[in-house]
Amino acid sequence: MNQLPAYSVQTAHSWNTINWSPETLPSLQTVRTFTGSLPLKSNPRVKGKQLPFRFLFEGKNEHMKILAAALVGKDASKNVFRIDLNTLVSKYIGETEKNLQSLLQSVSSIDILLLFDEADALFGKKHADQETATDDLLKISEVFPGTIIFSCNSKSNMDNAFIRRMQAIVLFP
């Protein structure tokens, strides 16, 4: 994975060692159910295969969002890779889409969890009004068959079409 614009996210913590806020914990339980971290009957699997999911971690506490992503990956026995958006976003028209598409294609056959920190750089309202069409980015991100966690400071910065595609939104106050 050295050639990817990403780095591995791991933790020695467990769910019980963190003091989660009351607003965060129920939504994190939902994420864990979707990803297979919690063995519940309602776990959405098809013929033993995990379905692709999209989650949004919202809040200013970046450390807790990254820690939660690492714990979700740890419980689901998946490596978590935090994407370096600085290497994806380009000032040239069409290059951001190409970079994102190339990244997702290169990891599409690997069973990992992706974390797009500061996702509003790609999927935010401000970006949608600029040179890159959010719809194109969303279509590209839907190609990845695995789980993606997006994080941002506030979902109000995110495009509504993007928000509608999330299976869960977790607030980190």
pLDDT per residue as tens digits for the range 40-53? 334 455 455 555 78
Rounded percentage of the chain residues whose pLDDT exceeds 90: 32
Q: Is the pLDDT of residue 92 over 80?
A: yes
CATH class of 6-10+25-38+49-171: alpha beta
Separation between Cα atoms, residue 154 and residue 74, nearest integer Å:
26
Task: With 0.95 as the threshold, say if the pTM is over it.
Answer: no
Separation between Cα atoms, residue 169 and residue 58, nearest integer Å:
7
Separation between Cα atoms, residue 103 and residue 61, nearest integer Å:
26
More confident residue, 88 or 18: 18
- Per-residue pLDDT, 160: 81
Identify the band that residue 11 occupies on the pLDDT scale cut at 50, 70 and 90: very high
Question: Dihedral (C-alpha) 100, 103, 109, 113: value to the nearest 10 degrees?
Answer: -80
The residues spanned by each domain of the chain are 6-10+25-38+49-171
| Secondary structure letter of residue 172 according to DSSP | -
